[in-house]
Structure 1
Amino acid sequence: MERRTTADEGIGAWLEALASTGPNPGGGAAAALMAGVAAALAEMVVAYRKTPDAPEAERRERALAAFAAAVREAAPDMADRDTEVASGFAEAESRSEPEERAAAKREASMAAAGSSAALGRFATTLVPVLRELAEDTGRLMLADVGIAAAALSAATRAAALNICADLARAEESGRADLIAAVDELDAATRELDAVAERVRSQLTPASGGTPGATARP
């Protein structure tokens, strides 16, 4: 029987699987799809923006749209990769010998931590796009930029949490590359939270005034 991928599943069926007691999909796959949601929203905002009549600006808009589309399209595959790595935990539990089982669990945990770091790096590639959109999108679509930033912040925060959980499970605290990945993801999360807050401040009416507007409708 051919294995079904995340892209093959309807949203309802995927959420039902996520809610079940089965091992997969889990939090890592959910983080990947949150990054996909953020990318889709960014792509939509770019499509709606009115581009200045200048070749350089048009090329920039096409580049932003293409980048957001690439992240959106890759998100289901990233979810599947995380799910595949997470299956190592079930395999480890099946080992009969305690020492073998402990070693397999540690190996699975480190593999999962590496997968979470890769997923987090994948998500952070969209940060510059959202930063630019937040600075140059009009009020009509600005809330979608903020929602995208909030969704991507959830993805980067989740990836960092998963790395920490996997390192704790493996009783491993000395992997400098993974610790650095957590620091990088925390920094990206703070920036994304700031983008979402900036959007909110632009949309919140001042006392006795009207919401601020940015450059484009």
Structure 2
Amino acid sequence: MRTEQVEDWLSRLASAGPAPGGGAAAAMHAAMAAALVEMVCNFTVGRPNYAEHESLVRRVCEEATELRRQAVELADADARAFTAVTEAYKLSKDSEHDRMARAAAIQGALVMAAAVPVRTAEVASRVLELVERIIGRSNASVLSDLAVSASSAGAALASASVHVEVNRASINSPEVADRLGDAVARIEKAIESAHRISTDVRVRISRATPAAR
């Protein structure tokens, strides 16, 4: 993802190939959400009107940069995890030993595949926290981009939730399934936060004077 052209990646996403897929797209939503936070910060740092918040905004920008890096890595990790699942399903079923080994490989791959969207959701949730920290403390001329960041993070969360559930449905371990169920519950709460934050920003925009914009 770090060296690939956007159009090339989208073409692979659109193809009939096994990866990238929806999980990688979720991670890219999180990456875009983080990048938008960085953009707002960069439009704020050095502006006299926001000097009192500059220290905070700089810290937020650094955190957003790191989260963007993690999200891009998760896009690649999701592609690898899904490929591992498809490869596990291709293993031999000729003997009882083969079938047992195949079943174990599938379960292991599914657990790993479920872990990636959980991490993606964690990154998206942290991006939302950054958005909240700089609302009202960053350049008002790019306030709408914070709403888009929150919406992108919300899309990442909703997509991640689906992929956790898809893998969870095929996992045999009750303990792992329960743990993933708890993760989905946390993600759903974060989705509500994304909607709330986006709505808050939109209300602020509607109340802003033309001069403030």
**TM superposition score normalised by structure 1:** 0.84
Residue deviations 1:66-87 (CA, integer Å, cap 9, x gap): 1111112232211111211111
2:142 pairs with 1:141: yes
For these two proteins, the number of residue pairs brought into alignment is 204
Taking every aligned residue pair, what percent have the same amino acid on both sides? 29
User: Residue 126 of structure 2 corresponds to which residue in structure 1?
Assistant: 125
* Larger displacement relative to structure 2 (181-190 or 194-203): 194-203
What is the aligned counterpart of 2:63 among 31, 51, 67?
A: 67
**How do 1:171-186 and structure 2 match up within 5 A?**
171=172, 174-175=175-176, 176-186=178-188
* Structure 2 stretches lacking a partner, 5+ long: 94-98
Equivalent-residue separation in structure 2 for 1:151 and 1:40 (angstroms): 10
Distance 1:78 1:92, change over 3 A: same
Cα shift at 1:100: 4.3
Cα shift at 1:7: 1.0
* Structure 1 stretches lacking a partner, 5+ long: 1-5, 205-210
User: Residue 92 of structure 1 corresponds to which residue in structure 2?
Assistant: 88
User: Residue 15 of structure 1 corresponds to which residue in structure 2?
Assistant: 10
What is the aligned counterpart of 1:189 among 171, 188, 191?
A: 191
What is the aligned counterpart of 2:39 among 41, 44, 55?
A: 44
User: Residue 20 of structure 2 corresponds to which residue in structure 1?
Assistant: 25
Stretches of 4+ moved more than 4 A in 1? 51-54, 171-174
User: Residue 208 of structure 2 corresponds to which residue in structure 1?
Assistant: 212
Distance 1:52 1:201, change over 3 A: closer
Equivalent-residue separation in structure 2 for 1:53 and 1:93 (angstroms): 56
**Could you tell me which amino acid in structure 2 is paired with residue 28 of structure 1?**
G
Question: Is contact 1:134–1:195 with CA below 8 Å preserved after alignment?
Answer: no
Distance 1:61 1:202, change over 3 A: closer
What is the aligned counterpart of 2:75 among 70, 75, 79?
A: 79
**Could you tell me which amino acid in structure 2 is paired with residue 71 of structure 1?**
L
Distance 1:120 1:166, change over 3 A: same
Question: Is contact 1:51–1:58 with CA below 8 Å preserved after alignment?
Answer: no
RMSD, aligned CA: 2.3
Higher helix proportion: 2
Cα shift at 1:59: 1.8
User: Residue 3 of structure 1 corresponds to which residue in structure 2?
Assistant: none
